[in-house]
């Protein structure tokens, strides 16, 4: 091998680089700086145009490192075909330096060298049948060392025929890697889609999923029967405004919540106000709650409705109501809002025979420690309200 052959090889690498840059845009224009994906794409283009391949190791050896010897003739021919020439010999012939002469019989020495190597291998196989195992190992090492040390490129092999000795080139097949990557990518997208679907479902149905329903039926503590009257329920939550709910006569109160505790205030004109606290983690989902009747409010209502024995009715009301009681009448019109009455005026109002008393409704009452009524709030509805 001469320095001229190394110069020819540098020329060939430049033309290979130019050929690739015509249709591709690698990370760097210089072939010596290619790596990773650039090398893979170059190998694919080489297989496509020259019907052959070079390994990544060979690429690093002859394209990225300083070259002190030529690659094998089959690799030279492959690169020459890729660059647009018939063979390595054809490439050199079209790039002759001054005073450089090529001969058509340059392949003779390389053919003889290969024949000599094959003969040596045959003799080694025959000798192994007649010598002990340790001698066979030594002979094999000697033959392999001799074959390795002899560089077939040291002789002028520029016009060597590719069919003289077939060579199996290394390949770099990326189809398995691409298939694995696609499969992993598919499962990642499936996982992301599943997580998003779960999150959307939780947002839509979170109340139904995480909430629990509780049913409370209110019972008259004295009569042990359902309360046949409207009840006002006020739900108290920390750092929140109260939630008001009205429970119809003989109907249960149904409450759905995600909270762990419940605090509610139950009130009615004819029952004493009661504050109920529950730990919903251990409380039953269905429960009866007793309310104690407000006897004074019930008596006021009874005396207001009764039109018999008016004298006895006046005496009873005079005894029940404190002389300093605050009595309010609530109006449902824009002319009057609230009117105050004294004790005697109220007694006179509710003891006079009148059909309007049929619509009298006691809204609220309060008593003192002596059992006297100190506050009455009532209203008289019109007949249209009852229709």
Q: 3-state DSSP call for residue 81? A: helix
Mean pLDDT of 76-102: 86
Sign of CA dihedral 302, 304, 309, 315: positive
**What per-residue confidence (pLDDT) applies to 105?**
47
Residues 73 and 221 grouped into a single domain: no
Confidence of residue 47 (pLDDT cuts 50, 70, 90): very high
Domain identity same for 19 and 98: yes
DSSP H or E segment with residue 46: helix 37-50
Q: Are residues 11 and 57 in the same domain?
A: yes
Query: Is 346 within the bounds of a domain?
Result: yes
Query: Are residues 304 and 242 part of one domain?
Result: no
Within-domain flag for 118: no
So what's the pLDDT on residue 80?
Answer: 92
Q: Do 160 and 57 lie in a common domain? A: yes
Q: Are residues 196 and 345 in the same domain?
A: no
Q: What is the pLDDT of residue 1?
A: 52
How many domains is the chain built from? 4
- Whether 20 and 160 share a structural domain: yes
- Last-in-domain residue among 231, 265, 291: 291
Does residue 81 belong to any structural domain of this protein? yes
Question: What is the gyration radius of the CA atoms in the chain, in angstroms?
Answer: 54
Distance between CA atoms of residues 96 and 74, nearest Å? 21
Q: CATH number, domain at 351?
A: 3.10.450
Same domain as 334, residue 231? no
Residue 300 and residue 284 in one domain: no
17, 89: one domain: yes
Domain residues for the domain of 50 are 3-106+156-164
Asked if residue 150 belongs to a domain, the reply is: no
CB-based contacts of 111: which residues, under 8 Å, 6+ apart?
Answer: 160, 164
Q: What is the pLDDT of residues 60-83, one digit of tens each?
A: 889 987 888 889 999 999 999 998
Please say which residue of 291, 317, 348 terminates a domain. 291
Does one domain contain both 268 and 322? no
Give the distance between the most distant pair of CA atoms in the chain: 151
Q: Does the residue 78 lie in any domain?
A: yes
- Could you say which of 276, 291, 306 is where a domain stops? 291
pLDDT in tens, 197-219: 888 877 787 666 678 888 999 98
Same domain? 314 vs 364:
yes
In a domain, 312, yes or no: yes
pTM of the predicted structure, to 2 decimals: 0.39
Residues comprising the chain, all counted: 387
Pick the range with the lowest mean pLDDT from 205-209, 268-272, 322-326: 205-209
Mean pLDDT confidence for 193-200:
90
């Amino acid at each position: 091998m001469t320095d001229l052959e190394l110069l020819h090889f540098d020329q060939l690498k430049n033309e290979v680089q130019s050929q690739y840059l015509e249709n591709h845009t690698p990370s760097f224009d210089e072939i010596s700086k290619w790596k990773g994906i650039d090398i893979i794409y170059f190998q694919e283009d080489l297989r496509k145009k020259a019907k052959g391949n070079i390994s990544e190791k060979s690429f690093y050896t002859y394209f990225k490192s300083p070259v002190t010897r030529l690659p094998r003739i089959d690799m030279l021919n492959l690169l020459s075909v890729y660059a647009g020439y018939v063979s390595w010999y054809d490439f050199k012939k079209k790039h002759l330096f001054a005073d450089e002469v090529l001969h058509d019989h340059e392949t003779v020495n390389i053919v003889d060298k290969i024949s000599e190597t094959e003969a040596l291998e045959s003799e080694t196989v025959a000798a192994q049948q007649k010598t002990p195992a340790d001698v066979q190992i030594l002979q094999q090492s000697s033959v392999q060392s001799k074959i390795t040390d002899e560089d077939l490129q040291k002789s002028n092999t520029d016009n060597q025929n590719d069919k003289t000795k077939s060579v199996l080139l290394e390949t770099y097949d990326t189809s398995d890697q691409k298939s694995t990557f696609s499969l992993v990518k598919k499962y990642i997208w499936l996982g992301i889609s599943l997580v998003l679907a779960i999150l959307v479902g939780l947002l839509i149905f979170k109340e139904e999923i995480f909430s629990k329903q509780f049913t409370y039926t209110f019972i008259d503590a004295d009569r042990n029967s359902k309360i046949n009257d409207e009840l006002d329920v006020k739900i108290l939550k920390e750092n929140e405004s109260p939630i008001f709910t009205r429970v119809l006569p003989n109907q249960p109160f149904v409450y759905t919540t995600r909270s762990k505790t419940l605090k509610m205030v139950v009130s009615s004109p004819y029952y004493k106000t009661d504050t109920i606290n529950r730990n919903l983690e251990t409380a039953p989902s269905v429960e009866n709650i007793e309310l104690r009747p407000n006897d004074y409010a019930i008596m006021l209502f009874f005396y207001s409705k009764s039109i018999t024995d008016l004298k006895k009715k006046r005496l009873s009301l005079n005894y029940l109501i404190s002389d300093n009681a605050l009595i309010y009448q609530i109006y449902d019109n824009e002319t009057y809002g609230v009117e105050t009455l004294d004790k005697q005026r109220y007694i006179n109002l509710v003891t006079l025979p009148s059909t309007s008393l049929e619509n009298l409704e006691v809204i609220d009452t309060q008593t003192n420690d002596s059992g006297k009524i100190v506050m009455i709030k009532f209203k008289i509805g019109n007949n249209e309200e009852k229709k």
